Chain A
Amino acid sequence: MIEAVARQNPGFITELLTTIPHLRAYARSLTRNRDAADDLSHDAIVRALDAAEQYTPGTNFRAWIFTILRHMFYNNSRRNKYRMVPLEDMPPIESVTTTSGQQEANLAMCDFRRAFWQLNPEHREVLMLIGAGGLSYEEAAVICNCQIGTIKSRVSRARSQLNLTLEQGALPSRSSVQPIAESEFIEMLEDAGHS
């Protein structure tokens, strides 16, 4: 499979290799878990290689493979394959500092991350795609299979929710954050039109 793709369309492999780190970041925003995100990324890469003939060279490769990954996440969530779990692998604060300003910044960053991981997957993904990944509203709308207005609205609501959580100080401790209940998650999928 890989041989055939490499022979027929080497540019595809180049784009794939460049995109893998971003694919992992997007998968992490959906699954909220390192291992599940890497499993999902791996499966999406294999699926993309299988479907390489369907990709039109010169079009947006990142949007194409992100869409594959997203479909796999939502299609398999019901079977619990890439289930969301507690925040046991929330990215660590990487530096220990000594000045009070830096300590304050680290605390603020830690609070931000806890608030971010508490958002629902649709809010996390739009912030990750647009706020961090640098995709346009149009590209995000293609990936999420919805209108641009819906994406803008999700971004706005996600920011408001982050702000509310941070202002109210309603941050749970790491150990108290529970996975989203299955019923709640199914309801959310149905609301989002994935039923």
Chain B
Amino acid sequence: MATQTFLDANELVLNMGPQHPSTHGVLRVILKLDGEKVIGTDCIIGYLHRGIEKIGENRTYPMFAPYVDRMDYISAVSNGLGYCLAVEKLLGVEAPPKAQAVRVILTEMNRITSHLVWLGTHALDIGAITPVFYTFREREEALKIFEAYCGARLTTHAFRIGGLQYDLYDTFERDVRKFCDDFLPRIDEYEQLLTGNRIWVERLTGIGILTAEDCKRYGVTGPLLRAAGVQWDIRKAFPYSGYERYEFDVPIGRNADTYDRYLVRMQEMRQSVRIIRQAVDGIPEGPIMAKVPKVMKPPAGEVYVSIEAPKGELGYYIISDGTITPYRVRVRPPSFVNLQALDKMAKGALIADIVAIIGTIDIVLGEVDR
């Protein structure tokens, strides 16, 4: 009788990453396989750890603001908004109405650019190469507006604590309206390419299911939670920056799978356009900066402020001890928490689906590792 060789072993451990085109950065996943079936995963993260929270304790409040852009670097505007809101809450000030409206416009445009990067790369992972060219074409138009407004395209540092640094440039409203008009039909184009595409549907339907119950157990938020049928969005639950003034829907899915998450994100881009149009039509006149002291020393205290970032709940827990530097800055990153559910979603899937599941979580490793 032949002795057992490694070929007879049922379990195989396979390393994926940290340098792998489908892990969207430096994520390393150790896969435990039974044939082609995944029976367990272990994520090794931290390759991009820069100690953002430690840096925060060693910088003044305004000095730390550019650093937060470098966490989720494809939605830097959202990161900056969350940080500014948290420090404003500590200081007890509120940005003036004009600044709030501009913040909403830029943050929603940032949600669109973030979802476009997700859509392009996710489709690329599945094997559809065309969408990424289209999504990056549209993203470029949005980045041009960021650049014209604040000089930077990605790590924008667009907002300041208390409001805005720069007033709008002359053609801002016109550019934003044109972007909205051009962009809306483009979403239909993407959908024509993908929504009914047989390969796309079959690769995504029923893959990576994470039920509403499981989402809550793992603390998963954002489009993943909404695709599971929970109509929850921080813009509605705890409105900030004047979101309560705008009409928009919170799209939800039913099947909690990768395909529904795709549909939810597509709908979210349409809703973002809807918000931007309302905001740009009603930019109030007035100052762009609240009265904040030149040297910021928030009274001793602590706040937790969170926003609906493109990827989920992004929270800042800041403790002030009354000096010019925060005593503690904690960032509650959506990517980090959502990635934890990978194991749950991947169990029982095939190895080819892992790529779809990593893509559907929509992680940015800069934020996972901070």
On whether the two chains bind one another, the answer is no
